[in-house]
Amino acid sequence: MAALLRCCAGEGRTLLSRRVQRLAAQCLGELGAVDPGRIDMPVAPAEKLSSGNTAELARVLLRDHLARSVRGANDVDMLDAAALAVQEVLVHVG
């Protein structure tokens, strides 16, 4: 189960990786509902952000989340939404 979930965690930039993600999602669908308490899935440690440090928060958002959305965009609408989110973060930080 953990291996199937890890297959879905990537960005899906290539045709092969998108196909692997679709097949893993199909397998997960066949298995049915997942009980998160029974899965041995390593979790990345959460980053500690000091309160009031908007530049650090923006860096984490841009690097760890929005950059993946831009690189993994499958269509123009998703790319537009990700680019808008990046612009909003940059405007907020100044």
| C-alpha torsion 79→56→48→88, nearest 10 | -40
Amino acid at 20: V
Q: Is pLDDT of 83 > 70? A: yes
pLDDT in tens, 18-54: 888 888 888 888 888 777 677 676 666 766 656 667 7
- Domain range summary for the chain, segments of one domain joined by +: 1-43, 47-94
- Can you give the pTM of this predicted structure? 0.47
Alpha helices in 1-94 (DSSP H): 2-8, 15-31, 54-60, 67-71, 76-93
pLDDT score recorded for residue 66: 86
Neighbouring residues of 8: CB distance < 8 A, sequence distance ≥ 6: 21, 24, 25, 28
CA distances 23 to 10, 32, 47, 92, Å, are: 13, 15, 32, 39
